Structure 1
Amino acid sequence: MSKLPNVTPSIFAAMTKLATEHNAINLAQGFPNFAVDEKLATIVAEVVKKDVHQYLPIAGYSPLLTKIAKLILDFYQRKVLIETEILVTTGATQALFTTILALIKTDDEVIILDPSFDNYEAPTLLCNAKAVRIELNDDYSPNWERIEKAITTKTRMLIINSPHNPTGKVWKENDFLALENLLEKNPRILLLSDEVYEFITFEQKHISIHSRKKIADRSIIVSSFGKSFHITGWRIGYLVAPEYLMKEIKKVHQYMVFSVNGIAQAAISDYIDVISVDKLGKFYQKKRDYFRKLLKNSRFELMPCEGTYFQVVSYAAISDENDLDFCKRLVVEHGVAAIPISTFYADGKDLKLIRFCFAKDDKTLENAAKRLCTV
């Protein structure tokens, strides 16, 4: 008997497979297609010669933990304890999964805000807990009245995501004030904040839970080196949590992976010294603006994109098809792969919206846009 009877294969894998079969341009799955930074490649070549090939401590490579703490202090003015509050993980996915398995018990309720990334619900269900899916507003801001009404005596966790996948929405100050007010009234609820695109924002700066002193001591914050440094295949991220929660998270982590790839940790530790993550937003803003310019004469309607490397568009003026069928036809007939937004909703809500990833080199974006302008 399946423990996840309603969970189907990932839409990301499915669309990538379809794109490969039809030799289509893959703007579906969220990964860059340009070369890794030469500085990082050089560092990796040197790190391989060092003594980093055996098991590292469960929490992570000590120099990297120190660099993470400094990064958080520099960007968010928060001092975290290196020994007890930071954990390096095998990607943000493992960080999310481990956190939920460690902190959620049978019959607990976890509030998830739709449209939502599919990695939130599965671990919740594996805990024999209930995933309570609440829709965001039409502009993808949180509907606090709706969220508050969903809270019961069993509510144990609220999961938030800003910058938001798939919509590119970035929460504003008033959203965080409302969040703090909600958590103050409900002291039992933990906060899991998915901030993997924290350094990829544009006109509006990212506001991190690291900077919210009122609720940081009951929050788990997840970050991703894979997203920040264009190395998604390395599968390396980290989470920050207060010691009383981290103790429980590490109990699960030690049996799930024990420790994370040593070469990757050592290389990233050295790489942090030679790059500036604060320039990442400007890098992707240029790509966003260029991609939007290329699609200006298409029949797609461009939705706002405030962060991440995803652009949501409406195809309502083009077709009445459901978004999954439209995405499949887009691959087969036009040679471009995208992700249907309905798959991010519990009820499959179809607003005729699809998501493109613009973390691609200019030639790829140009070729894709040329095809999309013929749709």
Structure 2
Amino acid sequence: MVEKTISRRELLGASTFAGAAAVGVLSAPPVLAQAPTVIKMQTSWPASDIWMDFARQYIERVEKMSGGRIKFELLPAGAVVGAFQVLDAVNDGVIDAAHTVPVYWYGKHKAASLFGTGPVFGGSATTMLGWFHQGGGKDLYRELTQDIMGLNVYGFYGFPMPAQPFGWFKSPVASAAEVNGLKYRTVGLAADLMQNMGMSVAQLPGGEIVPAMERGVIDAFEFNNPSSDLRFGSQDVAKNYILSSYHQASESFEFLFNRDVFDDLPDDLKAILEYGVEAASTSNTALAMDHYSSDLQKLQVEHGVTVHRTPREILDAQLKAWDQIIPTLEADAFMKRVLDSQRAWVERVVFYELMNSADLALAYEHYFPGKLKL
């Protein structure tokens, strides 16, 4: 037998290892993988629309940030309920969440449109998303949805949409007189605006627009952006695309959640759902700038669409129509508070924005002369 001297360090290390192993054998509980929380989210968009891609950007970020503890079942418009019925479905617990816009439930309370497609006052969509987050809009939205309407929902806002085109017309229009009498598709307070200008308005979800144009139900229409319009097949029913308008100059996505579903989550997952909207807002904006611009080129080059800007006379007529509509909205005390809050924000913030911003058209014309036809 050969004697071996064991050091104190070796002795302690061995005893510690043995003790830990013994404790592990005797007391370690079985490790059970926790099943992820599955959130059924329906959008208000057809399956092929680019806004489904925007919704996917949101759920991809949330699922990664949650470490897989949240999973989504993403559904297009009509999978469970119609595009305009998602608020009711979330409220009733038929679905857990929705990706939509507030103007789609304008029929329940006109104030919904003030959180997406109200009077422009001079603020861009970015300006008005800032109002929602920093100017009091979030508190007013909570008051409307929960105190006034008693809805069992939470809503978060993201992605400041570029101003929506005046839309698709079979022939160019140069004056307010030429739009008088047209049958036109839009939604929300924009419907009131266009009716004030003499149009007959049909409020239709996106998937029904082109078929309505083909059947002669409408003469002209707008939806939102070149990518959605291209995918709808707008270029097959009209060849004049008129950009720039005050009818829906600022809008953002609304991410709706059933309040019971949301409240049952731990605090970290609640935060991921809420602040994931802000993360998606940035990625949505980048995706929109890429696709909206390239699809506008595609409409012109590949489909023979002529792109115009809305004539100044029609823009002036839109502002005058808003001047007539605003007092009727302010007859409602809550809506007056919302409009007062928005005006105060825009007066202060847009003064800074306009005074500080460079003349982008001047710079663009300098480097790409002759492309702009203003």
Q: TM-score range by the shorter chain?
A: under 0.3
Larger radius of gyration between Structure 1 and Structure 2: 2
Q: What TM-score, normalized by structure 2, do the two folds share? A: 0.25
